[in-house]
Amino acid sequence: MRRLRKVKIVATLGPASNTYEMIRTLHEAGADVFRLNMSHGSHEDITKLHRAIRQVEKDLDSPIAILADLQGPKLRVGEFANGSEELEWGETFRFDLDEAPGTDKRVCLPHPEIFQALGVGAHLLVNDGKIRMRVEECGEDFANCVIEAGGTISNRKGVNVPDVVLPLAALSEKDRADLEFAAALGVDWLALSFVQRPEDVEEARKLCDGRAAILSKIEKPSAVKAFDEILAVSDGIMVARGDLGVELPVQAVPPIQKRLIRKCRAAGKPVIVATQMLESMIESPMPTRAEVSDVATAIYEGADAVMLSAESAAGQYPVEAVTTMNNVAISVEKDPTFTEVMENSRNIQRATVADGIVAAAREIAETANVKAICCFTSSGTTAALVARERPRVPIIAMTSLRGTARRLSLTWGTNCVMTGELERFKQAVVNAARAARAQGYAGTEDHIIVTAGVPFNMSGTTNILRVAPCDERLIYSTDPE
């Protein structure tokens, strides 16, 4: 399904979007990737959503990526005798391992690993950061704190510990079970929560065993500090601004977002900007101007994808939310400033033949009247390298592997077309010309760029570039066997 934009849209599925009809409507409205939140719903529910997505894909003959988002460890306080308590600024409060019901002076924090990592001066944040406490004294089973920002604390509220790296694995027992289930089900991407260090990603990759690509969610200060190492072992990145905005000052998040996007672009790995992009559309058919500007900013920065969470999963206007995001993207990408920003922010270290091939393809496309870049790819690497260049013309990624086409649904600017296995480059050129015409990118009088690796069907062999006519008669009359 041809898109009129290059950035991709990720839509989360939930109670408002759990039927075949709604999933199909969302895809037709602009959703390229569907996110399955493993924090909600049983394995049976997830299986039904997966089956519906694959049926939509089959019926529309349009590759769709499925992203399974693992929950990650959840740190929560215990329960209170009165259900909740009001905490005031300047008062003291104690966290400990005592399972007795909490009071206005203390509560159980059933996570000994937190106490092991805490030090004097560290902060504990409760209820999405609404309550802030500073540690004044701590031991192996307690932390005495002073309240710096008060509020209502109640049963099972979440706790964030921004100042330390916790001795916790990113994968809980639930996550391990969910990972195995999702990988066996056949999802294309696995999003890993609570990433603190590259070892967290490597553990998930080992368990996944090549069945899905690994996307690391950056939602903790420790992940920002170790970002280069995490990016190196990840297939993609999600800038999860929700928890990141809780654990860091809110004013620090926009610069971090910009910096991480640029690093992902330079590495040629897809990056999603997520959380609260059109949040008002959960209850309103129209977004705020600030939300539209937020989506536009992510697109101007060169993000591969922007994501809807509750807007499409549980909101009253899921189709309108996707449509709005689609329209914002089309408008931004038509702006001449967008092209200027993409080209001025290009920062790529080229060291291989493939790097040179895709750079040449982009440069030729900018100086000649070329309608599209068609790249034949087995693993998806060639298409990702072309996308890294952020060319002005569309990218047609041609592959014989359905899994590759699905994963590329998350990569900027790629339009995936299935093709049979090839043996000769001339056959590839003919197939590329046919695809460009069939998808409406070019006519018989136009030219396209074709990149491929010879021999075919081998990953990492991009070594050839051809400017070719879209008229098959000219291809047959000019190309040698």
Say whether 76 is catalytic: yes
Residue that the structure tokens 């879209």 belong to? 470
| Active-site choice (6, 24, 35, 258) | 35
| Active-site choice (275, 377, 382, 419) | 275
Q: Where are the alpha helices (DSSP H) in 368-449?
A: 381-388, 402-407, 425-438
| Active-site choice (54, 76, 94, 130) | 76
Burial of 454 (0-12, 13-18, 19+ CB in 10 A): middle
Say whether 47 is catalytic: no
d(Cα 65, Cα 52) in Å, to the nearest integer?
13
Q: What is the DSSP string of 217-276?
A: EE-SHHHHHTHHHHHHH-SEEEEEHHHHHHHS-GGGHHHHHHHHHHHHHHHT--EEEESS
Say whether 74 is catalytic: no
Amino acid (1-letter code) at residue 401: L
| Active-site choice (106, 217, 241, 388) | 217
What would the two tokens of residue 457 be?
């069907």
Q: Where are the alpha helices (DSSP H) in 73-208?
A: 112-117, 173-185, 198-208
Q: Are 95 and 113 in contact (CB under 8 A)?
A: no
Question: Which among 200, 260, 267 has a CA at the least distance from the CA of 232?
Answer: 267
Distances (CA, A) of 278 to 166, 208, 289, 306: 32, 32, 10, 10
Say whether 275 is catalytic: yes
Cis peptide before 318 (omega within 30 of 0): no
What would the two tokens of residue 449 be?
């760029």
Active site residues: 35, 76, 217, 275
